[in-house]
Chains A and B, each alone.
Chain A
Amino acid sequence: MIDHLLSASDLDRETATLVLDTAGEMAAVSGREVKKLPTLRGRTVVNLFYEDSTRTRISFEAAAKRLSADVINFAAKGSSVSKGESLKDTALTLQAMGADAVVIRHSASGAAHRLSGWIDGSVVNAGDGTHEHPTQALLDAYTMRSRLGRLEGLRVALVGDVLHSRVARSNVWLLNTLGAEVTLVAPPTLLPVGVENWPVQVSYDLDAVLPKLDVVMMLRVQRERMSASFFPSVREYSRRYGLDVVRMGLLPEHAIVMHPGPMIRGMEISPEVADSARSTIVEQVANGVSVRMAVLYLMLGGIA
């Protein structure tokens, strides 16, 4: 069904919808007492993580285990830059081990693409540099659909550091494929050159956008961006682009607040907002497992 999942733009509407529908069935499994399906028994899934991300790794691990796959965690942090084993050598090792699927997280954009050229197994991009994180976008879409009942025509704003955000890149393509209307809200310094050719609206003014939204998704802003003059100060950023209770009041009643985590409470989202009933932050984590189960199932499923 799916050979690799390298980019959200690889998914057409039909396939993306199939993943979300399958995730729904997987969620039902996760609600059972015995949270396991025998589907991927005898299959090997390798989590190849060059970057620390406990949340994402555990989510993929749980997904693979619930489908009865064997899971190997391979922490290869920093090896290529530090003149250790190269990614290609590692690929050959995984090939020799008979990995059926490799879930890769890497600090270099395109690392998942490179890996897919070197091994026979399926590759899932679990975040590559500032490029993409497609399963995050799938779980975000799943969460929106669960809460709001549809994706077609939803008005979604992604707020914050779009320039460096793989979550934003994946969400833009996937949401566009699924018929949602996306607005990017950020200071101009945190939007990529060329964004005018993306299928999105762009705004520098969060307050003007909020009243029209169904979903506001806050993106992470790393504090180190400050030293590079992307914005003048944390305080100014927070005042113009942070989501606090007052600003949340501008949203329509039904609108939800999302954050891919991990959050820096205070700067981009206030604790009251993060913990409010509108926030889907905890659900997003749970949905992540179901979506990743669906992806692995559709990639490896059934064919013994």
Chain B
Amino acid sequence: MTSSWIVSGTQVGDLFVRDGVFVDSEPADAQRIDATGLIALPGLVDLHTHLREPGREDAETVETGSRAAALGGYTAVCAMANTDPVADTAGVVEQVWRLGKDAGLVDVQPIGAVTVGLAGERLAELGAMATSAADVRVFSDDGHCVHDPVLMRRALEYVKAFDGVIAQHAEEPRLTAGAQMNEGDTSARLGLAGWPAVAEEAIIARDVLLAGHVNSRLHICHVSTAGSVELIRWAKSKGWRVTAEVTPHHLLLTDELVGSYDPVFKVNPPLRTEADVLALREGLRDGTIDIVATDHAPHTVEDKECEWAYARPGMVGLETALSIVVEAMAGTDDIWGRVTDWMSVTPARIAGLSQQGQGLRPGAPANLTLFDPSLTWTPGPSELMSRSHNTPYAGRELSGRVVATFLRGEPTVLDGKAQK
């Protein structure tokens, strides 16, 4: 096994890898990769991935999701807790963590549920998950909102004992009962029950106040509205420990696409308006929104090829994220530096992953992504390695593609092909 590489011709200079870390001198017996014209980024980190195992292995497994992640340039993914059984005990989070180790394509960091069974009634054993082999630091009931304010306060306080963070899926459930898409002009015309922006904003407003009150770490998942960006900006101006993410699809797509009633566009939170999209981009540019997370949500054909109301929300995103972010954020100054922060350094910091997001400097773990901005490609069943193919970009030409990914010096993707 070769563990030495020379990656020459990158814009940051030649990179040397030995024994899984970047070094500052050319190693002996190294394989060489010519990266001229390629963009070299530290391995990407996704704070919000649904891997579906255990429970829905027909949609995705830890292994197939890991492979998709590697192909998208990721070296670590945080696996959401809404599996079956729910990742609400040390046993389940350790199982997911071990499956990730076995797959060996990316670091799979389990997220623990905040409440038992995601039921929003009593706290899961957060401490046991934190001290398990999986070393959980992020807790989320994603898919559901922790809507009881007392329980949310307790969760925020409790995880301070081990520097944890509560990642909230902000959705006031009474305001979204039966909701099918963004509430607005399009929902009125299509006769689909609306998911109003205020249902997200009301929870964010409450939670930033709670986080400020108890001085705890709060992370807002998949922010989708202009009003939410405003609230987070305000919370940050108060100095409260609040971070936020946006998905690639909320940076690019709008609710008008729902006009086709094609459930490939059904996500939670829903696609919003053009004005929201512009506010999210601005929020990401000015640092109000800290990171981009995929909310990769694989679903089987059966769960999507049906009436809109019966389809499950979510789209796959790991393999297309980088192309989509670069497209949506075109025109941003120092785009690659910003992408490094949004998609590697900051998500690793929020998740407490010390082996990730450390940049391309000597001594750092050799997690590396090489992206070819000149390639174009069209996602389709034969292109995508996720077990599910529910992507709105099928048949749409994307520009730029990941050609190589290294996890601690070992290639997981070379020439655009997964190595396992």
Contact = CB atoms under 8 A, between A and B. Distances in A.
A214 interface: no
B369 interface: no
B397 interface: no
Interface residues of B, number: 24
B310 interface: yes
A108 B187 contact: no
A128 B191 contact: yes
Contacts of A31: none
A265 interface: no
A129 interface: yes
Contact of B307 (A106, A194, A195, A198): A106
Given A109-B191, A193-B194, A80 B307 contact: yes
Contacts of A88: 305-306
A198 B261 contact: no
B87 to A, nearest CB: 26
Contact of B187 (A113, A132, A193): A193
Interface of B: 180, 183-194, 196, 260-262, 302, 305-310
Nearest to A193: B183
B187 A194 contact: yes
A114 B308 contact: yes
Q: Which interface class (under 10, 10 to 19, 20 to 34, 35 or more) fits A?
A: 20 to 34
A197 B191 contact: no
B185 A86 contact: no
B190 to A, nearest CB: 6
A100 to B, nearest CB: 23
Contact of A110 (B184, B261, B305): B261
A67 B119 CA distance: 56
Most chain A beta-carbon contacts within 10 A, residue among B192, B196, B262, B308: B308
A190 to B, nearest CB: 12
Contacts of A128: 191
Given A108-B310, A169-B191, 4 more contacts: A86-B306, A114-B262, A129-B309, A193-B196
A106 B310 CA distance: 12
A43 interface: no
A111 B191 CA distance: 11
A192 B188 contact: yes
21 contacts: A80-B307, A87-B306, A88-B306, A108-B309, A108-B310, A109-B180, A109-B191, A109-B192, A109-B308, A110-B190, A114-B261, A114-B306, A129-B192, A130-B192, A131-B190, A192-B188, A193-B183, A193-B194, A194-B188, A197-B185, A197-B188
A109 B183 contact: no
A197 B191 CA distance: 15
Contacts of A129: 191-192, 309
Given A129-B191, A192-B188, A194-B185, A113 B306 contact: no
A128 B190 CA distance: 10
Given A80-B310, A86-B302, A108-B310, A193 B261 contact: no
Contacts of A106: 307
Contacts of B188: 192-195, 197-198
A66 interface: no
Nearest to A228: B177
B191 to A, nearest CB: 3
A259 to B, nearest CB: 20
A155 interface: no
A110 B190 CA distance: 7
B187 A192 contact: yes
Nearest to A169: B191
A198 B193 CA distance: 17
